[in-house]
Amino acid sequence: MNLLYAAESIVKAKIDEHGFIMNTCIHDQASENLDKFLRALDSYQNAVAQYETIQGLKNQINSEQTPEEENLSQNED
């Protein structure tokens, strides 16, 4: 489960980074920022899809764990 938490953290950082880039481009409406905005948008959408996949995996793992396994994984954190 630690692997999923690490992946989740990295993907959240990517979402924040690309969101920031898009926001910067929106505030600076220069034409050269269009390409930068579109690249950030594509990367943002990809990161959101990755985040949703990770959440699905976490939910699946959590629903499959028995109470004893949950106690063990909580002790590892």
Output the pLDDT for position 66: 60
- Give dist(CA 69, CA 67) in Å, integer: 5
Q: Note the pLDDT tens digit of each residue in 38-62.
A: 999 999 999 999 999 999 999 998 8
Q: Note the pLDDT tens digit of each residue in 21-31.
A: 999 999 999 88
Q: Which domains does the chain have, with CATH numbers?
A: 2-64 (1.10.287)
Residue pair 37/18 in contact (Cβ under 8 Å)? The answer is: no
For residues 44-59, b (16+ Cβ closer than 10 Å) or e, as one string? beebeebbeebeeeee
User: In this model, does residue 69 exceed pLDDT 60?
Assistant: no
User: In this model, does residue 77 exceed pLDDT 60?
Assistant: no
Output the pLDDT for position 4: 92
Output the pLDDT for position 73: 61
